[in-house]
Homo-oligomer: A and B are copies of this chain.
Amino acid sequence: MTYPTSLGVSTTTQITLLGQDLADDLIGSVGFGELAFWLVTLQRPTPQQTRVFEACLVALADHGFTPTAIAARLTYLSAPDALQGALAAGLLGGGSRFLGVTEDTGAFLADAVTKARAAGTLPEGDGDAAWDALAADAVRARAAAGGKVPGLGHHLHKQGDPRVPRLYAVAQEEGQVGPHLRLFAAVGRVARETLGKDLPLNGAGAVGAALADLGLPVELLRGFALLARTAGLLGQLAEEVRRPIAGRIFAAVEGAAEYLPPEGA
């Protein structure tokens, strides 16, 4: 029985990764983001793809005192001897609500793009009208099914998430705007009319669209959000080491505890 792999394989004298000699071909020759892309897709990204990919990671890396950052800091407070546990605790919040937006948006867009392509109705080129029609259909179908359209709205940036136009500009500069980013922009244009609410596109959603256009597997997009967040959590933990606040957060919560008898007790 063998276990096939295209990733790392070692002999006593050589380490290969992706079929490359790790020492001779990779260390010092490829960037870290470039390698992460390559590890997942098995294809070395172009410099243009790498720049958009790293822009996405930078966009998601840290967002201040998120629940995941606070959870990581509190875990470090309790178990400072196991940094890996604090990091893992922070990543475990990377589920449906916070980091999941990236993946959900990518999946929503990819589904609409795939269906339109199969039906021969995928718009060609940049014309807004055709994309708007496709977007309106997809948004209405999702809403009719009782679902939420991912990538819209932000609890803070109600007038627009500043990351969105910048991500589009970078993708444009690098020639990486494809059907997912086009459709996402159209979702933003039709959202008010089709949903009756003013919900701007958010950055996590734009990242999902951009990553899908880069050809990354949609079912793993959450993983890139987690990779980006790992860097952010490291920053949070380094700051916690330098100037701790988790103990004060703990004390504030503990001090505000109020016993409430169970109903019916």
**Which positions in A face B, CB cutoff 8 Å?**
1-19, 21-24, 26-28, 30-33, 35-36, 39-43, 51, 54-55, 57-59, 61-68, 70-71, 74-75, 77-89, 91-100, 156-160, 162-163, 165-167, 169-170, 173, 217, 219-220, 222-224, 226-228, 230-232, 234-239, 241, 243, 245-246, 248-250, 252-254, 256-263, 265
B58 and A32 contacting across the interface, CB-CB below 8 Å: yes
A157 proximity list for chain B (CB < 8 A): 10, 12-13, 15
B75 and A256 contacting across the interface, CB-CB below 8 Å: no
Q: How far is the CA of A167 from the CA of B29 in the complex (A)?
A: 11
Number of copies: 4
A22 proximity list for chain B (CB < 8 A): 58-59, 162-163
A224 and B234 contacting across the interface, CB-CB below 8 Å: yes
Q: Measured between C-beta atoms, what is the minimum distance from A231 to chain B in Å?
A: 4
A252 and B1 contacting across the interface, CB-CB below 8 Å: yes
Q: Closest chain B residue to A36 by CB distance?
A: B231
Name 5 A/B residue pairs within 8 A (Cβ), A-sorted: A6-B260, A22-B58, A33-B33, A35-B58, A82-B92
A75 and B89 contacting across the interface, CB-CB below 8 Å: yes
Q: Measured between C-beta atoms, what is the minimum distance from A125 to chain B in Å?
A: 24
Q: Measured between C-beta atoms, what is the minimum distance from A40 to chain B in Å?
A: 4
Q: Measured between C-beta atoms, what is the minimum distance from A160 to chain B in Å?
A: 8
A236 and B7 contacting across the interface, CB-CB below 8 Å: yes
A15 proximity list for chain B (CB < 8 A): 63, 157, 162-163
A260 proximity list for chain B (CB < 8 A): 4-6
Besides A79-B94, A223-B237, 5 other CB < 8 A contacts? A1-B252, A8-B63, A27-B170, A32-B58, A252-B252
Q: How far is the CA of A31 from the CA of B100 in the complex (A)?
A: 23
| Contact among B18, B88, B250 with A91 in the assembled complex (CB-CB below 8 Å) | B88
A93 proximity list for chain B (CB < 8 A): 74-75, 77-79, 84-85, 89
A57 proximity list for chain B (CB < 8 A): 32, 35
A256 and B1 contacting across the interface, CB-CB below 8 Å: yes
